[in-house]
Amino acid sequence: MSNRRDFANALALVLLGAPTLARPQTGQRLPVVGALWPFQDIRTPIAAALALSLQELGFVEGQNFTFENRFAPGKPELFPSLALELVKLKVDLIFAVGPAAVKAAREQSSQIPIVAFDLETDPVKAGWARSLARPGGNLTGFFLDIPALAGKWIELLRSAAPGIRLIGLLWDSTSGAAQLAAAKAAAQGFGKEVHLMAVRGSEGVAASLKAGIGAGINAIAVLGSPELIRTPVIKLVNDFATNNRLPTISAFRNYPDRGGLMSYGVNQRDFQPRIVAFIARILRGAKPGDLAIELPSKFAFVINLKAARALGITMPQALLLRADEVIQ
């Protein structure tokens, strides 16, 4: 069963079984979940899973709850106004995907519960939560242990291509500074230098990559951002890396799936049902500030051997044995 179908099944079972979400009496208001998405793309795993839960599994919107979806296609600056729309609609919960969406939801309401899915931000350092165990306030959700992940990216790049000296960090400035600081610290710990290739959203990627070559980069780490996993951006980065013989790593397997060298990041099967559980518990009456923020426990390391051959890299056998999947 696909990751998307797993998530859809979980959402349908949890919400359909929630006692406060039984079919309402005539005229009774349905609970409303407002969702903030970074872009409208059916290939986005979470969005596709939600759609499947409604369309393929007999989970009928309007029976147990309703959705109010808002999209900011490539324009994170739209999130404050989109979040304000949801606040004015008096939604019962906001599900926010990505750091720009979470930040906007937080700024527009300190009362409406927020379930965050953000793989780019440290919620405690950002001031969004008092602690992971007891976040307080109106936000909880699924975040990431950023320093540990950044350290893995640099270590795997070094293992795949020991001769690299200057690593280009492709960073979306709308995602916040926590993962950038972590990546810089990890590179320094491994004795590597970094060159910052900052973009805003998905704008300026080509120019930043070109500037990186001018600076002498010989590897690329694509830092996490919803905007940087859009298909056109992935193709641009992968083609650039191949043409310039640069090993790459990303948090998202979309990159090696489409011709990049490596990815190391969250296993989708780990986070999808847990996001569903947050939404269901809050709709049943739980307070988000009492629900511990969760960090992923399962990660996937993917290598694309075809990409390695194109780059002239012989992947070490030890690295291949560590991989969860090797694309031939």
Residues 17 and 291: their CA atoms lie apart, in Å, by 20
Which parts of the chain register pLDDT below 50? Answer: 1-5, 7-9, 11-24, 42-43, 51, 53-60
Q: What end-to-end distance do the CA atoms of the chain give, in Å?
A: 23
CA–CA–CA angle 297, 274, 45 (5° rounding): 90
91: amino acid identity, one letter: V
State residue 4's pLDDT score: 41
CA 35 to chain centre: 15
State residue 30's pLDDT score: 78
State residue 40's pLDDT score: 73
- At the top level of CATH, the class of 3-143+268-290 is alpha beta
Enumerate the H helices of the chain as residue ranges.
3-16, 45-55, 79-88, 99-108, 146-160, 178-189, 205-215, 231-243, 254-257, 268-283, 305-311, 317-322
Residues 245 and 181: their CA atoms lie apart, in Å, by 26
pTM over 0.85: no
- Could you say which of 3.40.50.300, 3.40.1410.10, 3.40.50.2300, 3.40.140.10 is the CATH number of the domain covering 146-265+299-327? 3.40.50.2300
State residue 202's pLDDT score: 75
Residues 211 and 1: their CA atoms lie apart, in Å, by 43
Kindly give the interhelix angle for 268-283 and 3-16, rounded to the nearest 10 degrees.
20
Parts of the chain belonging to CATH 3.40.50.2300: 3-143+268-290, 146-265+299-327
The Cα-based distances of 243 to 206, 246, 304 in angstroms read 13, 8, 16
Taking Cα atoms as reference points, which of 308, 307, 276 lies closest to residue 21?
276
State residue 174's pLDDT score: 84
